[in-house]
Amino acid sequence: MMENDIQEVLFSEEQLKQRVQEIARQIDEDYAGQEIMLISVLRGSFVFMADLCRAIHLNCMVDFMAVSSYKNGTTSSGQVQITKDLTEDITGRHIIVVEDILDSGNTLHYLLNLLEHRNPASIRLCTLLDKPSRRKVPVEVHYSGFTIPDAFVVGYGLDYAERYRNLPYIGILKPYVYGGQ
């Protein structure tokens, strides 16, 4: 069972639901009367974005990008690869990039610069988890769910080797699972 691989639950299903509601309320206030476009960075953010999108009370479009710098490892390779680009034009739109976790910053720095060159009206970053102790590149976060310690986390869309995404909470993965200490 997946639960046997979890060392500790960091955020319960209820804590996640409450924090998503709080972020949605802030977005509703910040963009009152405007239409926004949420861009989910696949695959890790799909659960977070689905919940966030349902909690927002504005006209809201969605699109998806797949960007990777991890492969099946636990740390960023530093090489960013776009494996699925947007299908919608973002020119003149208010964009909120929705990400599962901000770690080194390499991937999001690259992605935000790329999107900025497509001339949106505005662009902001919403990340569920922020791990500032691992930051290598500065990235401005506008909406953040939780700050976490330097641990390998899974659940609520986050994975290790494509597993554990379906856990309803966020937990720290036991190091033996991924060959850690």
- Asked whether the predicted pLDDT for residue 72 surpasses 80, the reply is no
Band the pLDDT of 22: cuts 50, 70, 90.
very high
- Asked whether the predicted pLDDT for residue 78 surpasses 90, the reply is no
In order of start, what are the domains of the chain with their CATH numbers?
14-151 (3.40.50.2020)
Band the pLDDT of 76: cuts 50, 70, 90.
low
Question: Computed from CA positions of residues 53, 131, 166, 64, in that sequence, does the dihedral angle turn out positive or negative?
Answer: positive
In this prediction, residues 34-38 reach a mean pLDDT of 98
Residues of the chain with pLDDT > 70, as a percent, come to: 94
DSSP conformation class of 174: P
Residue 124 vs residues 142, 164, 167: alpha-carbon distances, Å: 6, 28, 27
Catalytic residue annotation = 103
Lowest mean pLDDT among 77-86, 120-129, 153-162: 77-86
In this prediction, residues 31-45 reach a mean pLDDT of 96
- Asked whether the predicted pLDDT for residue 55 surpasses 60, the reply is yes
Can you give the pLDDT at residue 148?
Answer: 96
Give the predicted TM-score (pTM) of the model: 0.91
Q: Give per-residue pLDDT as tens, 84-112.
A: 999 999 999 999 999 999 998 998 999 99
Can you give the pLDDT at residue 79?
Answer: 75
Can you give the pLDDT at residue 127?
Answer: 97
* Chain centroid, CA 27 distance in Å: 16
Can you give the pLDDT at residue 77?
Answer: 56
- Cβ-contact 107, 67 below 8 angstroms: yes
- Cβ-contact 40, 67 below 8 angstroms: no
